[in-house]
Amino acid sequence: MSDAREILVTARDLWKAYDGGRVPVLQGVSLDVHAGEVVALWGASGSGKSTLLHLLGGLDAPDRGTLQVCGRNPVIESDRLELRRRHLGFVFQLHNLIPDLTVAENLRVPALAVNQPAAATDRRLRELAEQVGIGHRLTHRIQDLSGGERQRVAICRALMNSPRLLLADEPTGSLDETTGDLVFSLLKELAARHGIAVVLATHERRFAEACDRRLRVRDGKISET
């Protein structure tokens, strides 16, 4: 990864603990993420990788340390809202879609938050749905889809507002091996096609090794491998 690429994430000396400081989770973590790269946070359950993703996405705040994401501080509420609306996309292990809504209706939700015109929203959701192979499912309800199809919808939803950075927390963790491989390959392909950076938390070595960079997360600390 060339140093000439824009740095989207700068984290320095991040610490995080729970239960009044009695349960340390992150201990002095520092990292940079450049535009266009796919970075794996690789480690066992409980190692701190999900907590780190949550800090990057403004879902939680560090106890101390400094953090800049796409030029904004996710600890500050106004910055955090702007990041979520326009610069960040999230994909979780569980898709977190609205089951009673159709695929198209779920995909419209992020666009509503930024008042995107309806015509542009419809063009975008159809384009993304075709790219991930669910264009024929737009009128189907989420509860009628398979696990792999639901995760494809979740990926589309994360990309609806053209984010610069995608945060993916164990996106294959609830899928069978074959479907998980397909979803991971799709994430990498879409990241390259749309020119976005991805930070992926995973416990599976094969996925970590397929990323541009692999950061080992162990006992709340990270090291590049």
Task: Enumerate residues 6+ apart whose C-beta is below 8 A from 224.
Answer: 213, 214, 215, 216
Cα pseudo-dihedral 113, 115, 118, 120, rounded to 10: -100
pTM: 0.91
Task: Give the pLDDT confidence of 171-220 residue by residue, as tens digits.
Answer: 888 788 888 888 888 888 888 888 899 999 999 999 999 999 999 999 99
Q: State the DSSP string of 26-42.
A: EEEEEEEEETT-EEEEE
- Dist. CA 51–CA 59, nearest whole Å: 9
Based on the number of CB atoms within 10 Å of its own CB, is 29 exposed (0-12), middle (13-18) or buried (19 or more)?
buried
Neighbours of 49 (CB within 10 A): 29
Assign 96 a pLDDT band (cuts: 50, 70, 90): confident
What's residue 200's pLDDT?
A: 95
d(Cα 132, Cα 136) in Å, to the nearest integer? 11
| pLDDT reported for residue 3 | 54
Provide the token pair at 97. Answer: 């879609």
Write down the pLDDT at residue 1: 43
Measured torsion, CA atoms of residues 58, 63, 65, 68, in degrees rounded to the nearest 10: 10
E strands in 5-148: 7-18, 23-34, 38-42, 64-69, 88-91
Helical spans, DSSP H, in 2-102: 49-56, 77-82
CA-closest candidate to residue 199, choices 173, 221, 168: 168
Tell me how far apart the alpha carbons of residues 13 and 72 are, in angstroms, rounded to a whole number. 17
How much is the mean pLDDT over the chain?
A: 92
Alpha-carbon dihedral sign for residues 207, 13, 53, 43: positive
Q: What is the pLDDT of residues 141-182, one digit of tens each?
A: 999 999 999 989 999 999 999 999 999 998 888 788 888 888
Reduced to 3 states (helix: H, G, I; strand: E, B; else coil), residue 8 is strand
Q: Which listed CATH number (2.40.420.20, 3.40.50.300, 1.20.1340.10, 2.60.40.420) goes with 36-59+84-224?
A: 3.40.50.300
In the chain, what is the greatest distance between 2 CA atoms, to the nearest angstrom? 52
Query: Got the DSSP string for 191-209?
Result: HHHHT-EEEEEES-HHHHH
